Each structure stands twice: as structure tokens, then as C-alpha cells.
Amino acid sequence: MLNGQIVRIISNLFTVKTKKGIYDCRARGKFRLIKVTPLVGDYCVIDENEKYILEIAERKNELKRPMIANVDIALIIASVKEPDLSLNLLDKLISVVTINHIEPVVCFTKLDLIESKEEIKIIKDYYNQIGIKTFYNTEIDAIKKYLKQKLVVLTGQTGAGKSTFLNKIDPELNIKTSPISKALGRGVHTTRHSEIFEIENIHFADTPGFSALDLNDYEAEQIKHSFIEFFDYQCQYRDCNHLSEKKCGVKEAVQKKLILSSRYENYEAFYKEGKK
């Protein structure tokens, strides 16, 4: 028996990396009985001779979309143009990964397609200020240093440039990319399976793209706590939801432009989606 980590899943074939090498394995039928689906990122025990996964170790976290486990950082690739920047999707991704105990890091791409970076700089500076690390995709050396020795899931809007970003980190990967469909105004899916690539001591998980997330699975209270900057402002009531309550420190901060207006507007929408 060997310990390893699942680094790729194609259909029902699980590629497991171990100290003795790479093994393509099947999962034992017992996992269906106990309703456990092996995920990329899972640490496991395999039978190296029979090529079966025998056990899945307890996970520190997991995401459903994209499906991955034991993630250190969710690197959110956010295009500023083609497709246009969606702060709603960006904040939704930040909330989801924060709720799931994963550090969100933002990388803005396609800055060469806009005339002025002033508005993007304001947004970037704000996220950095509240404790969410944010980069431009031109800051490759700084990004590599920050992500070193981490398992990083790449996520973001379809067509935002996830595969292109990986190719910038290591051009030898030559991951397939596709042009934006101008007719649809969105990207074409190019990643067909989940896989972990090790690049300069960084473990990147390239996963199928997506453009929508559902917050219905989360409690409204969890969503509230995922807006980390709200903790910096004191409200009259300890259980304030920052909506219609009086003497709400968060709403006062929005009025004073201490909180980005888009962040608060997205919070209002997300809170209503969550379970009460």
C-alpha cells in the first residue's frame, strides 16, 4: 500500500502521485456506498499492485464548483475586458472560498485591452486593503513567490484567461486556449478535466471553467461573515445584518465610501440568497 495524492481525474480513472511514482487507479465500489466521491487534491491510500484507491483521508476543505479538495489558495482569475469585469461574480467567488476556509487571491487579466487602469487600480487597492491579496497578471514573479509550496485552484469566469495564465507561469505547458466568442460575449470551455500541475514548487489545479455559482447551499450568516471588512465597523446591535437596522456601522461606512459600494450591493443580494 502507498500514500499519495490524486492529481488528475478523467472519467473514472484517478491518477495518483506517490513517492514511488505515478499510478492510474480505479476507486473501490465502497466509496459509492458511503457516498464519497474522490476529488482532485484528495490524499489517499492505494494498492499499487491492483491499482485501486483503498482509502480517502479526511479533507481540510473542499469545493463543489470546481470540484477539488485540500486547497490552500483559490486564485480567482478576473478579466477586465472580453469578458468584462463582473464584480458580482468576483465577490461571489470570494465569499464561497472564504466560507470554505480557503484563502482567496485575485489576479486581474487582459489589462492591455483597456485604455485606463485607474478604475481597476481603485478596486485592486481596496481588496488589498481589506486583506484579500490582489495582483495584475503582469506581476508574475510576485505571484509565484506568494503561491510557492501551495495547492492553488484556478477559478473564475469562463474566458477570463486561466489557461493563458498557466502558460505565462510555464510556457512549456502549452495548455490549449480558445478565443472569446464575440457573438456570445463569453469564453469557450477549453479545460475538459481536472488536473494538478507542479510548477516551480507551486501545485496548480486547472479545472473546467464555470460562470455561475449558487449561494443557496450556504447560511445567510456564513455569507455575512465572508465579507471580512464588515468586522472593522461597529453596529448598535451585535446581531446586525447590515440591511435595514438602525445605527449600522457598515452602512455608515458605505455612505462614507470606506466600503466599496459594489461590495455592499453584492452583499445585500447574496444575503438574500442564503438560507435563513
Q: Do residues 75 and 101 share a domain?
A: yes
Q: Kindly report the CATH number assigned to the domain that includes residue 49.
A: 2.40.50.140
- 175 and 97, same structural domain? yes
The least confident of 2-6, 183-187, 198-202 is 183-187
Pairing of strands 151-156, 202-206: parallel
Q: Are residues 262 and 232 in the same domain?
A: yes
Instruction: Specify the pLDDT at position 162.
Output: 79
My answer on whether 68 and 168 are in the same domain is yes
Q: What is the mean pLDDT of residues 57-76?
A: 89
Q: Which of 37, 58, 79 is the last residue of a domain?
A: 58
- Mean pLDDT, rounded, of the chain: 88
pLDDT at 186: 41
> Do 226 and 202 fall within a single domain?
no
Helices (H), the chain: 30-33, 87-99, 118-129, 140-147, 162-169, 220-226, 249-255, 261-273
42/110 same-domain check = no
- Alpha carbons 54 and 218: distance in angstroms, whole number: 31
Domain annotation covers residue 29:
yes
Q: How far apart are CA 50 and CA 37, in angstroms?
A: 20
Q: Rounded to whole angstroms, how far apart are CA atoms 26 and 10?
A: 11
pLDDT by residue (tens digit) across 227-262?
A: 999 999 999 998 999 999 999 999 999 999 999 999
Average pLDDT over residues 94-111: 95
184 and 244 belong to one structural domain: no
DSSP letter at 197?
A: E
Q: Looking at the domain assignment, is residue 211 inside a domain?
A: no
Looking at the fold, whether 195 and 245 belong to one and the same domain comes out as no
Is residue 214 domain-resident?
A: no
The residue-averaged pLDDT of 93-111 equals 94
Cell numbers describing residue 179: 478565443
Q: Is the dihedral of CA 54, 55, 61, 62 positive or negative?
A: positive
The dihedral formed by the CA atoms of 208, 211, 217 and 220, expressed in degrees to the nearest 10: 140
How many structural domains comprise the chain?
A: 3
- What one-character DSSP code corresponds to residue 188? P
- For residues 196 and 70, membership in a common domain is answered with yes
Q: Is 113 within a domain?
A: yes
Per residue in 18-35, pLDDT tens?
A: 999 999 999 999 999 999
pLDDT tens digits, residue range 261-275?
A: 999 999 999 999 998
Cα separation, 62 vs 101, in Å, equals: 9
Distant-in-sequence, close-in-space partners of 119: CB < 8 Å, separation ≥ 6? none
CB 268 within 8 A of CB 89: no
Q: CA 14 → CA 29, 37, 74, 160, 198, distances in Å?
A: 14, 11, 22, 28, 17
- The span from the CA of 78 to the CA of 155, in Å, is 9
Tallying the residues shown for the chain, one arrives at 276
Q: What is the CATH number of the domain that holds 233?
A: 1.10.40.50
Residue 162 lies in a domain: yes
Least confident of 55-69, 116-130, 207-221, 244-258: 207-221
- Residue 193 inside a domain? The answer is yes
Same structural domain, 54 and 121: no
| Domain of 11, in residue numbers | 2-58
Cell numbers representing residue 177 in the block = 486556449
At 105, the pLDDT band (50, 70, 90 cuts) reads very high
Cβ density class 92-128: b for 16+ within 10 Å, e for less:
bbbbbbbbbebbbbbbbbbeeeeeeeeebeebbebbe
pLDDT score, position 153: 87
pLDDT of 116-144, one tens digit each? 999 999 999 999 999 999 999 999 999 99
Q: Are 181 and 188 in contact (CB under 8 A)?
A: yes
The confidence band for 217, taking pLDDT boundaries of 50, 70 and 90, is: confident
C-alpha dist (Å) from residue 7 to 13, 89, 117, 169: 11, 27, 37, 19
The answer on 123 and 39 residing in a single domain is no
The answer to whether residues 77 and 165 belong to one domain is yes
What pLDDT, on a 0 to 100 scale, did the predictor assign at position 198? 86
Query: Looking at 12, 43, 58, which one is the last position of a domain?
Result: 58
The β-bridge partners of 224 are none
pLDDT number for residue 245:
93
In whole angstroms, what is the distance from residue 257 CA to residue 237 CA? 22
